[in-house]
Amino acid sequence: MTQRQSPTVRRRRLALTLRQLRDSAGLSAAEAARRVDHDASWLSRIESAEVRPHPNDVRALLSLYGVAGDQAEAVIAVARQAKQRGWWQRYSDVLPDWFTTYVGMESEASVIRTYECQMIPGLLQTEDYARAAFRGAPVLTREEEVEKQVSLRMERQAILAQDEPPLLRVVIDEGAARRLVGGRAVMREQIVRLIEASERSNVQILLLPYAAGVGFDGSFVILSFPPLPEPYPDAAEDQMVYVDTLTGALYLERPAEVSTYSAAYEQLQATALGPTVTRDTLSKIAADLAT
């Protein structure tokens, strides 16, 4: 399976790049917008990734910022990619706006680190587990919507089988691995899926045991994105933290926020069982579920 490109990631990277180039040029947002015949609110929406700018507008801004040649063409190419439709758009009727952003980000992440204290992570769920999770959620969902949500979740998992899959690093609280979502048979199948997934070279699954005491009160995901290849002018790798809530989500990008969650993940990883012991423990759980 070929690598997926995400217009969401491209729009975000373009926004970061244009803001950095404007800062380097010593121009305020109001002045830069005025000089390309727009108002400041227009440029503000572009730099916050709220809108997808037309490639011609991007070209005008780059000229203003003194960026030309191959570098300018590389940025304009990203602007064109940012205007494409994501594969997830066909699920728009069941996909809330706040989660649409996450699906777009996840689709092109190079490293995904996640801690789950309640559920098996979506990228590792079986169909039956996902179906039972949606049906048992505190927010009521119509059956036809449940099936479409399950289909979306399964399609998200395709990133793990693409030509250059992301590194998936997962810490799962033992309670999430033992909670009977969908019953014993469904849960056993889910645990077997975890064991099989842990054998992939790009997947690491660690179990945080009850014996570790209090883990972390809240699940989170840290997404890392690869730098765009030269001659793109912004070659920095960047990261984002995603925190899910019942009615929305938090997207944290500030370096201090990302480093705090990264430190928390490293601590959870250090406290968790190692990969071999995790597989042995999961095998015992699966065996208990079979009796």
**Is 77 in the same domain as 96?**
no
Range of the domain at 35: 7-82
pLDDT class of 3 with cuts at 50, 70, 90? low
Which of 43, 62, 82 is where one domain is finished?
82
Whether 2 is covered by a domain: the verdict is no
Angstrom distance (rounded) from CA 175 to CA 149: 24
- What are the E-state strand segments in 126-281? 167-173, 203-208, 220-225, 238-244, 249-252
Residue 3, helix vs strand vs coil = coil
Whether 222 is covered by a domain: the verdict is yes
Which range among 22-31, 43-52, 102-111, 135-144 shows the weakest confidence by mean pLDDT?
135-144
Which of 61, 82, 103 is where one domain is finished?
82
Q: Helices 40-47 & 7-25, crossing angle to 10 degrees?
A: 130
pLDDT, residue 1, reads: 56
pLDDT, residue 138, reads: 80
**pTM summary value:** 0.91
**For position 271, which CATH number holds?**
3.30.870
How would you label 168-185 residue by residue, b for 16+ Cβ within 10 Å and e otherwise?
A: bbbbbbbebbeeebbeee
**Is 67 in the same domain as 157?**
no
- With a pLDDT cut of 90, the percent of the chain lying above it is 85
Residue 251, helix vs strand vs coil = strand
Whether 258 is covered by a domain: the verdict is yes
**Is 102 in the same domain as 230?**
yes
Whether 17 is covered by a domain: the verdict is yes
Whether 1 is covered by a domain: the verdict is no
